Amino acid sequence: MVVNIDGIHYHVEVCGDGVFPLVLLHGFTGDASTWLPFYDNWGKHFKLIVPDIIGHGKTESSDQINRYQIESAASDLKRILDVMGVDKVHLLGYSMGGRLALTFTLLFPERVRSLILESASPGLSTEKERELRRMKDAELAQFINEKGISSFVDYWEGIPLFSTMKRLPATLKKKIRDQRLSNSAAGLYYSLLGMGTGSQPSWWGAPLEQLTCEVLLLTGGEDKKFCDIAENMLRELKNATWIVIENSGHAIHVEEPEKFGTIVSDFLIDK
């Protein structure tokens, strides 16, 4: 389905036989198809709501950078759910989608029944860190502008964060690459500037401590950076569980889909 939010046409996939809604949010350069392998299993128990985040997939891009700010994207998600007549949801987000899921939960806590964060963070804790990250993201955005999306995807696939994905079968790697290439250069450009980690507020400290819904943190055992982040988040969250999936890096749902799917199902069923 397509939902118009202030002139942006959001592509939202809806499927599943379950009654209670589960919203799935993809990562940077992804789209709703990220979650396709889980539709059959999760759809037995939940109504799946799977949007393409602004600037990604079949959702339109905008040249107004404020539309990409993470609080704005969270507000758009709320309005999508309002249009659909959906009140309270389970919420799962990966990486950038995880930061968006956390932001949504903090801004609209009454709308979230439980939260699953895969390889996600509450942002950067100091303004200096955020400033440095904004500079790096601006350089990367300019790289997309100058070199095009194919060269950017070449670079993105080679960053250390995704090193473990080199072990994936060639056919799967090609499928992921083709999906990344299907995004628009403008959408990724503005996403980096507006929704990058350095552009969002820090949710460390009081925001995390005030979160009351049940939270599941998932990290790959070979993703040390995000394991460290999850360990620190666990200290601040009141009602959280952290599970490490061995033999996996950042993209657990791609690298260990069977384990990932089972863990998510076990956490959500009967909630």
User: Which tens digit of pLDDT belongs to each residue from 65-75?
Assistant: 999 999 999 99
- The residue written with tokens 């194919």 in the block is 150
Residue 271 confidence (pLDDT) above 80: no
Q: Directed axis angle between helix 149-157 and helix 185-195, to 10°?
A: 50
- 3-class DSSP string for 246-260: CCCCCCHHHHCHHHH
> Does the pLDDT value for residue 270 go beyond 80?
no
At 112-166, the pLDDT tens digits run: 999 999 999 999 999 999 999 999 999 999 999 999 999 999 999 999 999 999 9
Q: How many domains does the chain have?
A: 1
Pairing of strands 46-51, 8-15: antiparallel
The 10s digit of each residue's pLDDT in 27-83 is 999 999 999 999 999 999 999 999 999 999 999 999 999 999 999 999 999 999 999
Q: What is the span of the domain harbouring residue 157?
A: 2-268
State the residue for tokens 């942002």.
Answer: 123
Please give the DSSP secondary-structure letter assigned to residue 54.
T
The pLDDT, as a whole number, for residue 134 is 97
b/e sequence 61-72, b meaning 16+ C-beta within 10 Å? bbeeeebbbbbb
What is the pLDDT, as a whole number, of residue 269?
A: 85
pTM (two decimals): 0.97
Q: Each residue of 229-247: pLDDT tens digit?
A: 999 999 999 999 999 999 9
Cα gap 211→77, rounded to integer Å:
19
Burial of 169 (0-12, 13-18, 19+ CB in 10 A): exposed
> Looking at residue 197, which CATH number applies to its domain?
3.40.50.1820
Tell me what pLDDT residue 173 has: 97
pLDDT at 34: 96
